[in-house]
């Protein structure tokens, strides 16, 4: 009709920057302490933060924590005491990493304080939380609480294998798997102080409560984190 203009409304899908939780193994970061590795991780994370990515980082205790746990075992100390030692060491590693990132806030000592840190500066760094809880599970709880898109674990292996590659040279790297398939690989082991597995069984059991994508990769190559955040194939992808 004359005098009447018709406009077509086009809906544009805008892809928001992802929310990411990085579980950084102490065996990678501080066994022994690798300043250049920390520096490179910090550079990559800062670059993604500048693009709007929000990130939580959970750092483990590494071999030093396991050394203390061995000593505590010889001294006959309770598991809760061993866990407390490992938590303190993980927080020391977390403090070093937080300082490398230039964090204005200290290491987060609870999920609530981590969420507050993320809201104020775009990221949070944590170590362990309490006895009986692995840093894998801390990372899972943080990812669940901040409704993260991706949980990435930087470890001392290329990804997840069908059997332990440290014991079997014929182990096969699995590139993609479901939550259920991961459960069959990890099993349902109980927590022990200093537990060293590709992913904590309690974390694996909790994954179906979420829609998290989990990526496990070789943390000795920091640029793998960049690839994981950018959606490039790397390591093992675990998805619903």
Collapsed DSSP state (helix, strand, coil) of residue 111: helix
Check if the beta carbon of residue 183 is closer than 8 Å to that of residue 205. yes
Beta pairing, strands 160-161 & 173-174: antiparallel
pLDDT per residue as tens digits for the range 187-226: 755 555 545 568 888 999 999 999 999 999 999 999 999 9
pLDDT per residue as tens digits for the range 43-81: 999 999 999 999 999 999 988 899 999 999 999 999 999
Buried b (16+ CB within 10 A) or exposed e, 61-89: bbbbbbebbeebeeeebebebbbbbbbeb
Is residue 6 over pLDDT 50?
no
* Beta-sheet strand order (sheet of 213-218): 123-126, 54-59, 19-24, 150-155, 213-218, 236-239, 176-178
In this prediction, residue 184 carries a pLDDT of 84
H-type alpha helices, the chain: 26-29, 35-49, 62-74, 79-100, 111-121, 135-145, 179-186, 201-206, 223-229
In this prediction, residue 102 carries a pLDDT of 94
- Largest CA-CA distance found in the chain, in angstroms, rounded: 92
In this prediction, residue 30 carries a pLDDT of 77
pTM attached to this predicted model: 0.88
Residue with tokens 């990493």: 97
pLDDT per residue as tens digits for the range 219-239: 999 999 999 999 999 999 999
Q: Which fold has domain 19-239?
A: Carbamate kinase (3.40.1160)
Is residue 12 over pLDDT 70?
no
156 alpha carbon, distance to own chain's centre? 13
Q: Is the pLDDT higher at 142 or at 104? A: 142
171 alpha carbon, distance to own chain's centre? 24
pLDDT per residue as tens digits for the range 134-177: 999 999 999 999 999 999 999 988 999 888 888 888 989 999 99
Find the mean pLDDT for residues 118-124: 97
Beta pairing, strands 150-155 & 19-24: parallel
- Residue ranges covered by each domain of the chain: 19-239
Q: Of 57, 52, 41, which is closest to residue 225 (Cα–Cα)?
A: 41
């Amino acid at each position: 009709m004359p005098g009447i203009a018709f406009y077509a409304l086009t809906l544009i899908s805008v892809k928001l920057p992802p929310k990411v939780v990085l579980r950084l193994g102490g065996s990678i970061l501080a066994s022994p302490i690798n300043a250049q590795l920390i520096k490179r991780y910090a550079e990559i994370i800062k670059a993604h933060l500048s693009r709007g990515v929000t990130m939580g980082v959970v750092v483990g205790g590494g071999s030093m924590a396991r050394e203390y746990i061995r000593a505590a075992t010889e001294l006959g100390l309770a598991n809760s005491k061993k866990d407390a030692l490992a938590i303190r060491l993980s927080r020391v590693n977390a403090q070093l990493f937080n300082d490398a990132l230039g964090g204005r806030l200290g290491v987060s000592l609870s999920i609530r304080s981590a969420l507050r840190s993320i809201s104020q500066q775009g990221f949070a760094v944590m170590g362990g939380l309490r006895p009986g809880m692995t840093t894998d599970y801390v990372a899972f709880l943080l990812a669940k609480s901040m409704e993260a898109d991706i949980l990435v674990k930087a470890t001392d292996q290329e990804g997840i294998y069908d059997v332990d590659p440290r014991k079997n040279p014929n182990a096969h790297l699995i590139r993609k798997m479901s939550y259920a398939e991961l459960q069959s690989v990890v099993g349902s082991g109980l927590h022990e102080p200093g537990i060293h597995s590709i992913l904590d069984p309690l974390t694996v059991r909790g994954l179906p409560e979420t829609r998290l994508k989990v990526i496990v990769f070789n943390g000795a190559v920091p640029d793998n984190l960049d690839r994981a955040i950018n959606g490039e194939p790397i390591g093992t992808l675990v998805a619903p």
